[in-house]
Structure 1
Amino acid sequence: MEDEGRRKALKLDLGNLTEKNMGQLKKLNTATFPVKYKDQFYLDLVKYFDYCRLGFYADVLVGSMCCRLEDREDGGKALYIMTLSILEPYRKRNLASQLVQWILDRAQSKECQEKDVREIYLHVQTSNKTALQFYKKFGFKVTEKICDYYHNIDPPDCYVLRRPMNGHDLAHEVLDINP
């Protein structure tokens, strides 16, 4: 996530996630996340290629965003941000912002409007103040705290952040959380 201490901004080349480059994504996630994703996570991504992007700088994979389309209780759809990762040497260079902007644009596409995408949401560990500030810059609001969401990570609690899309209102109460 970007924050103070920003370095020179870089421009990502966004590429599609495919079965052929899935191994690169696994390596990126291993290098950037404190948890190891099971093989089933990667097998399931095949269903969501339209909502995943890889970020390349100078032909090197330096970041990614993987989302999935979900049904909402009210009959609409939501995009869930499963992962957003940037290799440490490339952080604070506007790369995560480019990936978030990509999914915001994607959610407003004609296809997503026809699918009735009403929001984008994600989970953020309660101690991750940088991520909370980052997503708030894009209009995400904290709507819920879930205790014991994560396993083998301290703290195990998370916040749910949501951003309404395509003219819809936020269907949840906003919590006043200041990172």
Structure 2
Amino acid sequence: MGEAEKRKPLHLDGGNLTEKNMGQLKKLNLATFPVHYKDQFYLDLVKCLEYCRLGFCADVLVGSICCRLEERNEGGKALYIMTLSVLEKYRQRTLASQLVQWILDKAQSAECRSIDVREIYLHVQTSNKTALQFYRKFGFKVTEKIEDYYQKIEPPDCYVLRRPMNGHDLADTVLDVEL
């Protein structure tokens, strides 16, 4: 496959996560993440299926985004991006962008406005410059650094990235992080 062909955008067909296809998600996560998610992670996903999306190309599961709804200390709610994954063979083809755009659209829906969703946030390992650049394209900003956040990967530190939604502002200070 040539370099130009690799970068050609692909259309992602979205699908809902269900208890019946949870096994497919487990396999995808095993193939795409350096850490192994315990069974409890998948049991907890059942509580937030409406904030998870599977991405298919030619009926093959190639990516996913899994989020959960949380109460914010400052009031309102937040969507937390737990995982965003795309099989390596399918990266650099806009699939992750399509999944992030899906959750941004979901967060701005009438349903999420009615329950006062004010932001989307996630944790990114401090060494993952690619992810930092990727999320910045969608308006996420680094608001905090947490040392020793990860237990089984190096470096263990992470940044918290936030994107305000539905007319709200970032309450936290934005950090200037060199990329």
Q: Which amino acid aligns with 1:112?
A: C
In structure 2, distance between residues paired with 1:171 and 1:56: 36
- The yes-or-no answer on 1:156 pairing with 2:153 is no
Give the residue type in structure 1 aligned to 2:72: R
CA RMSD of aligned residues (A): 1.0
Residue-by-residue CA offset, 1:141-169 (whole Å, 9 max, x unaligned): 00000000001100000000000000001
Q: Structure 1 residues 39 and 74 mapped into 2: Cα distance closer, same or farther (>3 Å)?
A: same
Distance 1:51 1:43 in 2: 14
* TM-score normalised by the chain length of structure 1: 0.96
Structure 1 residues 85-104: aligned runs within 5 Å: 85-104=85-104
Cα distance in structure 2, aligned partners of 1:19 and 1:71: 25
Query: Which aligned runs of 4 or more in structure 1 are off by greater than 4 angstroms?
Result: none
**2:143 aligned partner, one-letter code:** T
Which amino acid is 2:45 matched to?
Answer: L
Indicate the structure whose relative CO is greater, using CA pairs within 8 Å and at least 6 residues apart.
1
Task: State the Cα deviation string for residues 90-146 of structure 1 (Å, max 9, x = none).
Answer: 000000000000000000000000000000000000000000000000000000000
**Structure 1 vs Structure 2: percent identity of aligned residues?**
81
**Structure 2 residue aligned with 1:124:** 124
- Distance (whole Å) between structure 2 residues aligned to residue 119 and residue 76 of structure 1: 9
**What are the ranges of 5 or more consecutive residues in structure 1 without an aligned counterpart?**
none
1:137-156 to structure 2, matched below 5 A, reads: 137-156=137-156
Unaligned ranges ≥5, structure 2? none
Distance 1:13 1:155 in 2: 35
Count of matched residue pairs? 175
Structure-2 separation of matches of 1:75 and 1:163: 16
Residue of structure 2 equivalent to 1:84: 84
C-alpha displacement at 1:6, in angstroms?
6.3
Alignment-derived partner of residue 71 in structure 2: 71
TM-score between both structures, scaled by the size of structure 2: 0.96
